[in-house]
Structure 1
């Protein structure tokens, strides 16, 4: 699952982005990758490991909901539909 969020465009500064995606790892677990920053510049990346897909997906949706509350909008979503 992959979700790309972005703040509305403004004349004052470039929009911010927040990219979330799940990746299966080699140890039969899942990694939640989070990347954020200003559009057009390198961002920060954080990785969190989860034993099951369900727990990783729950964390992804929680981060998505937090960013929606901060004014971000979903620009792109790929994969399973949220619960």
Structure 2
């Protein structure tokens, strides 16, 4: 999982949200999970979380993805 894009739509409540995640290497042999979320079509809020290994960042991303899917988000497109 290098990139994951999720969306959630609820037209009755006018809710059209996205959540995306990227796993990228840092400058000091570390890895980051970059998370962005917000309303579809608008710029989102971005946060970074740092990890010692790529595997740790991927595991954190997968856990977050599972939690989002339980709330009604679904994958639109994914990276490698």
TM, length-normalised to structure 2:
0.91
Shift in Å, 1:43: 1.1
Correspondence 1:57-76 to 2 at 5 A: 57-76=58-77
Q: CA RMSD in A?
A: 1.3
**Structure 2 residue matching 1:15: 3-state secondary structure:** strand
What residue ranges of structure 1 are gaps of 5+ in the alignment? Answer: none
More strand by share: 2
Shift in Å, 1:42: 1.7
Q: Give yes or no for contact 1:23–1:30 (8 Å, CA) kept in 2.
A: yes
What residue ranges of structure 2 are gaps of 5+ in the alignment? Answer: none
TM, length-normalised to structure 1:
0.87
In the superposition, relative to structure 1, how do residues 40 and 14 fare at CA in structure 2: closer, same or farther (>3 Å)?
farther
Shift in Å, 1:11: 6.0
